[in-house]
Amino acid sequence: MSVMTPYFDRLFAENDDPWAFRQRWYERRKRSLTLAVLPQPHYRSIFEPGCANGELSAGLALRCDHLVCCDTSAAAVVLAQARLKDFAHAEVRHSRLPQQWPTQSFELIVLSELCYYLDHDDLCVLIDCALASLPPDGQVLACHWRPDIEGCPQTGQQVHERLHERLKMPRLVHHHESDLLLDLWCHDDTSIASREGLR
């Protein structure tokens, strides 16, 4: 069974930064890595499900014309809205996924520290929703904690294997460390240098 909303509500009731996104170097470095591997400097539209308090969202907002974020926790939504208040092109929705996946198209979908909370069936539905939301030049970025997490139905390793299997897209970025997994899939696997005419 996927982890349910009350779990996240309890986390945010006790702390406005339950994973220490702002304080820990590990988290700050991971955000920098996530933003650095994006093959385009700017995107038309980005979707970030499971945005928590909006720390990564703020970095993504600088890289797009339209940002949609969502979280299943109402408290997280309020925190993310406050974090993004200076970005008029960013909106934060209160949504439970995969059931309430948005209807519009997104050039980039960012799955950061989200998918191991989903069971196998919900993850498969979420991946199918993502595929249906991507234009021909669409991209999916996934970043997850690698060690097992107590209470989560899947590991980060299982999540990334399932994403690679079900997306059926070339993997443009494959960065794995003992702590984290970071992959980016893209319909167009042309290298960044080639896009700029360097070879």
Place of tokens 């893209």: 186
Q: In what order do the strands lie in the sheet with 43-49?
A: 90-94, 64-71, 43-49, 108-112, 139-145, 180-186, 171-176
pLDDT tens, position by position, 29-82: 999 999 999 999 999 999 999 999 999 999 999 999 999 999 999 999 999 999
pLDDT tens, position by position, 176-187: 999 999 999 998
Confidence of residue 199 (pLDDT cuts 50, 70, 90): low
User: What is the rounded CA–CA span in Å between residue 162 and residue 155?
Assistant: 11
User: What is the rounded CA–CA span in Å between residue 168 and residue 46?
Assistant: 20
Q: Which residues pair with 4 in a beta bridge?
A: none
In the three-class reduction of DSSP (H, G, I as helix; E, B as strand; rest coil), residue 194 is classed as helix
User: What is the rounded CA–CA span in Å between residue 82 and residue 12?
Assistant: 14
Question: What is the DSSP code (8-state) at residue 178?
Answer: S
Q: Are 91 and 71 in contact (CB under 8 A)?
A: no
What CATH number should be reported for the domain whose range is 5-195? Answer: 3.40.50.150
Confidence of residue 99 (pLDDT cuts 50, 70, 90): very high
CA atoms within 13 A on the CB side of 36: 9
User: What is the rounded CA–CA span in Å between residue 122 and residue 107?
Assistant: 22
DSSP state letters, 40-99: SS-EEEEEEES-TTSHHHHHHHTTEEEEEEEES-HHHHHHHHHHTTT-TTEEEEE--TTT
Domain edges within the chain: 5-195
Q: Are 185 and 170 in contact (CB under 8 A)?
A: yes
pTM: 0.95
